Structure 1
Amino acid sequence: MSVADVLRGHRVVPVVVLDDPGAADDLGAALVAGGLPVAEATFRTPQAAAVLRRLAQRSDLVVGAGTVLTTRQVDQAYEAGARFVVSPGLSAEVVRRCQTLGLPVIPGVSTATEIMAALDLGLDTVKFFPAEASGGLPTVKALAAAFPQVRFVPTGGITAQSAPIYLGHPSVAAIGASWMVAPDLLAAGKWDEVTARCTATVAATSSGAARSGASTDVQGKVS
């Protein structure tokens, strides 16, 4: 499986920070019900591998590991059933370990130099991170002009309002976002709200909506 295979049909990737493996089943069900059957379970909590494992047991959900910083975490993600790996930065060791295991990997970059390093590693899809802090869509456009063969997955600071605008650019393969899986919703077990925000996100970021620049408010309602 390639990065393109992972992202095909999944242009919005919910970035999940969850420390309770027991809530993973409800979260997975909410994502699928809302039409976003994909998740990046981040290695930001002690229980990240256990959460990832629970989510990966669902055949109707494509689950990857996020915030992967080391080859040890790559191995943990692989053993837990991750189908892709995302890093906040570019580590040649992490990339090569993923390639050895056959895991699609999307490393984080924010400069032309880092993109060239990614190309040297045989990659053509990178995470643009932190997106808004690094100049947002204007920077993506500038980098895309220099590297037309590269696809970007902007992540970091993207909102329901800006998501369709990012997705309207041809160099953007997908975005990573968290408003539909906000930590307060997960902590409170508000799974219906997660589903509702996912549903609204899908409607607002469909191909036509993205091209037209439609937006949603922070609750996921189309505006």
Structure 2
Amino acid sequence: MKLTMDEVLRQARPVMPVLVIEEIELALDLARALQDGGITVLEVTLRTPRALDALAAIRRELPQLLVGAGTLIHTEQFQEARDAGAQFAVSPGFTERLALAAEDAALPYLPGVMTPSEVLLALEHGYRSLKLFPADGASSVKMLKSFKGPFTGIRFCPTGGVTADNLLSFLRLPNVACVGGTWVAPSNLVRARAWDQITQLAAEARALAASLEAQP
């Protein structure tokens, strides 16, 4: 059965780490540290020269994880990501050409939106799981609340401004499936190989979400 983006987001809840990997030799240790903290879905952003190699290494050595490619802004990147083993694709925005490229590569696709018109365009192309980008705290929480009425059944993954401090503000919203963020694997901790601290950040995010789910 083909994996859907809705299934990816359900498995990712509460957080899909957005990983910027500069050195391929750090990729596996980083992925294992996040897995130890309870994370099972990762987004490797194609912002560095070794990103695709890092993604391929994680897929090869840790097949139990779901690994996607992020920051796809060119059509050819979708097939490159697929060839490297990516199981889904994420973009900061949405265009018809990117949607066609995702379809051609047979990748579940999470396009980015910011305005009602962009949501409508994505809806016209059949997308009901969307990335809200950038998500800059209180104003984005307010926007998502306003989206709930006209956009019934749409599920969002806010990214770009989500932190441990505002995580629950987003997860409380019924139209938020999960959030994306770099705070669970910040570049300074990755460079320092502080794997225990990254595991702790991931576990803390999951514990925060669990406390929310436990509320009556």
Q: TM-score, normalised to structure 2's length?
A: 0.93
Gaps of 5+ in 1: 213-223
Structure 1, residues 6-28: CA drift from partner, whole Å, max 9, x if none? 12232110000111111111011
Does 2:159 match 1:179? no
Distance 2:30 2:160 in 1: 21
SS in 2 for 1:70: coil
Does structure 2 retain, via aligned residues, the 8 Å contact 1:67–1:87?
yes
Alignment of 1:89-108 (within 5 A): 89-108=93-112
SS in 1 for 2:57: helix
Does 2:79 match 1:86? no
Does 2:38 match 1:35? yes
Distance 1:144 1:44 in 2: 32
1:197 maps to what in 2? 201
Does structure 2 retain, via aligned residues, the 8 Å contact 1:110–1:134?
no
SS in 2 for 1:39: strand
Distance 1:38 1:9 in 2: 7
1:6 maps to what in 2? 8
- Aligned match for 2:63, one of 59, 65, 68: 59
> Which protein has greater RCO, CA pairs closer than 8 Å, 6+ apart?
2
- Aligned match for 1:130, one of 128, 134, 156: 134
- Return closer, same or farther for 1:120/1:9 CA change in 2, 3 Å cut-off: same
Identity value in percent: 36
How many aligned positions are there? 211
CA RMSD of aligned residues (A): 1.5
- Aligned-pair CA distance for 1:133: 6.9
- Aligned-pair CA distance for 1:174: 1.0
Does structure 2 retain, via aligned residues, the 8 Å contact 1:17–1:44?
yes
- Aligned-pair CA distance for 1:211: 7.3
Distance 2:10 2:146 in 1: 24
Gaps of 5+ in 2: none
- Aligned-pair CA distance for 1:135: 2.5
Structure 1, residues 152-205: CA drift from partner, whole Å, max 9, x if none? 110111110211121111100110011110010111111111111111111111
Does structure 2 retain, via aligned residues, the 8 Å contact 1:168–1:211?
no
Does 2:24 match 1:21? yes
Moved more, 125-134 or 196-205: 125-134
Distance 1:18 1:133 in 2: 25
Distance 2:68 2:111 in 1: 13
1:169 maps to what in 2? 173
SS in 1 for 2:130: strand
Moved more, 34-43 or 53-62: 53-62
Distance 1:172 1:210 in 2: 13
Distance 2:82 2:32 in 1: 22
Distance 1:25 1:184 in 2: 17
SS in 2 for 1:51: helix
Does structure 1 retain, via aligned residues, the 8 Å contact 2:11–2:40?
no
Distance 2:104 2:214 in 1: 37
Structure 1, residues 37-67: CA drift from partner, whole Å, max 9, x if none? 2111001111111111112221121110110
2:80 maps to what in 1? 76
